[in-house]
Structure 1
Amino acid sequence: MWISDVWAAVVVLAGTTSAAAADNGPIAGNPLIEIPAGPFVFGRDDGPENERPRRLLQGRAFAINRTEITNGQYARFVEAAGHRPAFYANHPIFGLDDRPVVGVSWGDADAFCRHYGLALPSEQQYERAARGTRGHAFPWGNASGARVPANSGADICCSGDSRDGYPMTAPADSFADGASKEGVLNLLGNVWEWTSDLYAPYGSAATNSVGPYRVLRGGSWNSDPGHLRTTYRLAYDPEFRFAANGGFRCVRSAP
């Protein structure tokens, strides 16, 4: 199933929350939101095989960017580090300063985070930030309906639509009513986000990963409801940098 989902992800033109503590962090305009240590639900037993089993894990504290990394933030990194620009840097919509950067490989995203003394989130960190401690289906809880507070796509994979106000990417600070309990934005929708993990069935060592794929989480602006959930895992070629629906954010783990 996941191999076909890789193609689905390639698009080339491809309520009230209780905010947690935050600090400004090293990325101007994108504070780090503190996620406290403690038990949380990871995985599920009623979904695809690669999302099983459901477990209760003890998580360490970490902090995660409030929003996806934007084009403006990525451009400052490119200038400071001499790194290559994002593939869609000059696109009239995908390249807007306040939109999440897209057209970046896993290596590009990893280099950005490392430049600021941060890292890409692990799958466990991403899922804890998105689901809270109780394993909610969505960052805003378990309720789903006709209106989803996220930038998503058509009901049938995989086309964007403008029902949510944005036919493609939305500003990174959009959809405040879809924030997580801690106040992290767009953990579902807008753009898929790179994680640090190699793709492998849960419980397998990285050396037993299914090919050299990395995992993306969170769905995007062209995701149908089946892809727009907190447990969905997308295996993806880490070298590919031409997707217009894939970005990232960074984390800082507790020492």
Structure 2
Amino acid sequence: MIAVTSGSAMAESGPIAGNPLIEIIAGAFVFGRDDGPDNERPRRVLEGSAFGINRTEITNVQYRRFVHGTGHRTAFYANHPMLGLDDRPVVGVSWGDADAFCRYHGLDLPSEQQYERAARGTDGGAFPWGAAPPDTTRANFGADACCSGDVSDGYFMTAPADSFANGASREGVLNLVGNVWEWTRDVYAPYEGGLGAKSDRRYRVLRGGSWNSDPAHLTTTYRLAYDPEFRFSANGGFRCIRFAPP
């Protein structure tokens, strides 16, 4: 089923009930930046293929259906009184858990390039909504001093995955910054031509910041190298993508 979203993009209902895939069209887009941390450099323009990306982060209820259908282990915070609520993004999942969920549905985790294209649009915005800094109407994030949550945006921890419509990307994808960090499928390494520290290829990359991130971590380009086996993070989740047919 195909439908028009509130933004300009098209949405396919996709294999995950209640979480449609938003179309991201092929074409040139800005990746990386030259005015931030070394591991975000260099800025360049790339050609991207079309793909679809979940409108929201994967929720607890969506992950629970996967667990019931496969016997996969539950999320670490599945029974938490706040983090485990049905409409909140699932947290307490390793990279392997997230990868297994996406593959079960015939999908993949996004690459860093796909995440940035979805989050930044084609012109390399610092935030999904444009150039204005984050505020409590656009994203769920933490105190100015890392790393603790606050309630100024209405939520001490995670917010419902379909919250903060004012912070949607141009295509209508929600919470690409804030709420929870999102696993990508990429192994952490410096960009080609970049100045970042060398990688031993043990880590995967999380993107987007979370409910307890300070504003410095809440950009579309910030890269967090993370142990893929760790599943005890209360602020790490994911969403999936589908490659468009040729």
- Calculate the TM-score normalised by the size of structure 1: 0.90
2:205 pairs with 1:215: yes
Counterpart residue number, 2:164: 175
Q: How far is the alpha carbon of 1:18 from its aligned partner? A: 2.6
Count of aligned residue pairs for this structure pair: 236
Letter in 1 for 2:51: F
Counterpart residue number, 1:13: none
Counterpart residue number, 1:33: 22
Letter in 2 for 1:118: L
Q: 1:85 aligns with which of 53, 74, 95?
A: 74
Letter in 1 for 2:217: H
| Cα distance between partner residues in 1 of 2:233 and 2:134 | 28
Counterpart residue number, 1:20: 9
Q: How far is the alpha carbon of 1:19 from its aligned partner? A: 3.5
Q: 1:238 aligns with which of 218, 228, 234?
A: 228
| Cα distance between partner residues in 1 of 2:243 and 2:131 | 27
Q: How far is the alpha carbon of 1:45 from its aligned partner? A: 0.3
Counterpart residue number, 1:66: 55
| Cα distance between partner residues in 2 of 1:59 and 1:244 | 32
Q: Per the alignment, in what secondary structure is the counterpart of residue 226 of structure 1? A: helix
2:122 pairs with 1:133: yes
| Cα distance between partner residues in 1 of 2:134 and 2:110 | 29
Q: How far is the alpha carbon of 1:233 from its aligned partner? A: 0.1
- CA 185–87 in structure 1, closer or farther in 2 if over 3 Å, else same: same
| Cα distance between partner residues in 2 of 1:145 and 1:86 | 29
Runs of at least 5 residues in structure 1 that lack an aligned partner in the other structure: 1-16
2:155 pairs with 1:166: yes
| Cα distance between partner residues in 2 of 1:38 and 1:70 | 30
Letter in 2 for 1:37: A
Runs of at least 5 residues in structure 2 that lack an aligned partner in the other structure: 1-5
Q: 1:1-24 CA deviation, whole Å, 9 max, x = no partner?
A: xxxxxxxxxxxxxxxx73310010
| Cα distance between partner residues in 1 of 2:60 and 2:167 | 22
Identity of paired residues, percent? 77
Q: 1:94-126 CA deviation, whole Å, 9 max, x = no partner?
A: 000000000000000000000000000000000
| Cα distance between partner residues in 2 of 1:146 and 1:176 | 12
Residue pair 2:128, 2:167 contacting (<8 A) in 1 also: yes
Q: How far is the alpha carbon of 1:203 from its aligned partner? A: 1.6
Residue pair 2:137, 2:164 contacting (<8 A) in 1 also: no
Question: After the TM superposition, which of the residue ranges 222-231 and 141-150 deviates more from structure 2?
Answer: 141-150
Q: How far is the alpha carbon of 1:145 from its aligned partner? A: 5.9
Counterpart residue number, 1:7: none
Residue pair 2:134, 2:215 contacting (<8 A) in 1 also: no
